[in-house]
Amino acid sequence: MAPVLNLIGAGHVGRVFGRLWAQQGIFHIQQVLTRSAASAQQAVDFIGAGSVATAYAQLQPATVHVLAVGDDQIVAASEALARAVPLKDSIVFHCSGALASDQLRAAREAGALVASVHPIRSFADPAAVAAQFSGTFCGIEGDDGALAVLTPALQAIGAQPVTINASAKTVYHAAAVFASNYLVTVLDAALRAYQAAGIPEPVARQLAQPLASESMANVFRLGAAAALSGPIARGDLATVARQQHAVSQWDADTGALYQSLVGPTTALAARKPQK
């Protein structure tokens, strides 16, 4: 019989894990706990298994407990879980990208093995994610005994677990911010600069798209240093200085952003392979 799993929290990540593990028979979904019976029932319906719980006192012992709650609730949830059910030799893990498994101190002190599992993708549409989960990378860290169970459980639903350094968990999470959020910010600066030169916004997007797409493709094909082009890569510092001045005159904040990127880009250019 499959190991028993309780899900605390009914967010998108927990729901997707619950559905996929239930469908594959990896874990038996026992209970879904949220503050609201309605939200717990919605999660149970999405997963296709489990029963509703609205208080920690209602929880039954389980082999695995998933804390699919917000980052600011992880410590409190771990403490409440440790008070509610025996945790000796069970596994407790959370799904935060920014926090490490050391946030589960209460569960560990109660005898549990602890870990964190962070799927690296957007969960805006959980049904779509569940249908296309195969190939999803998951950053994992924690106790060896917990990872020995969770790693094959993740692989069974098509995930690709990647072990990360727990002490660098926040830096790891910042990597995703650089790769997605801040990339959008830089592209917004490019689009606004085109518009400042009199180019309509729809046309600006058409101009920026091949540059951005080819640069990204080159980064993932060749590596960042080899993909770098432009005035800094050529050592044309006079052009960089003129651009810095012009952009700052047009928009001070965007000028500051430009200036902040000069140093890191110069360092990247120094790593560029010599032809």
Q: What are phi and psi of 54, to 5 degrees?
A: -125, 5
**Residue 203: C-alpha distances to residues 27, 188, 191 (Å):** 51, 14, 9
What residue type is assigned to position 24 of the chain?
A: Q
Q: Which residues contact 1 (CB under 8 A, 6 or more apart)?
A: 28
Question: What does each of the 275 residues of the chain score in pLDDT, given as a tens digit?
Answer: 899 999 999 899 999 999 999 999 999 999 999 999 999 999 999 999 999 999 999 999 999 999 999 999 999 999 999 999 999 999 999 999 999 999 999 999 999 999 999 999 889 999 999 999 999 999 999 999 999 999 999 999 999 999 999 999 999 999 989 998 999 999 999 999 999 999 999 999 999 999 999 999 999 999 999 999 999 999 999 999 999 999 999 999 999 999 999 999 999 999 999 86
16-29 burial, b for 16+ CB within 10 Å, e for fewer?
bbbbbbbeeebbbb
pLDDT at position 220: 97
Alpha carbon distance 91, 83 (integer Å):
15
DSSP 164-175: --GGGHHHHHHH
**pTM for the whole thing?**
0.87
Q: CA 267, CA 142: separation in Å to the nearest integer?
A: 34
The helix or strand, by DSSP H or E, that contains position 230, with its residue range, turns out to be: none
Burial (CB count within 10 angstroms: exposed 0-12, middle 13-18, buried 19+), residue 79: middle
- Which residues is 94 bridged to in the sheet? 67, 116
The encoded tokens of residue 252 equal 């001070």
Task: Using alpha carbons, select from 17, 59, 14, 54 the residue that is nearest to residue 38.
Answer: 54
CA–CA dist 134, 147 (Å, integer): 19
CA distances from 218 to 42, 83, 204 (A): 43, 52, 22
Distance CA 107, CA 88 (A): 9
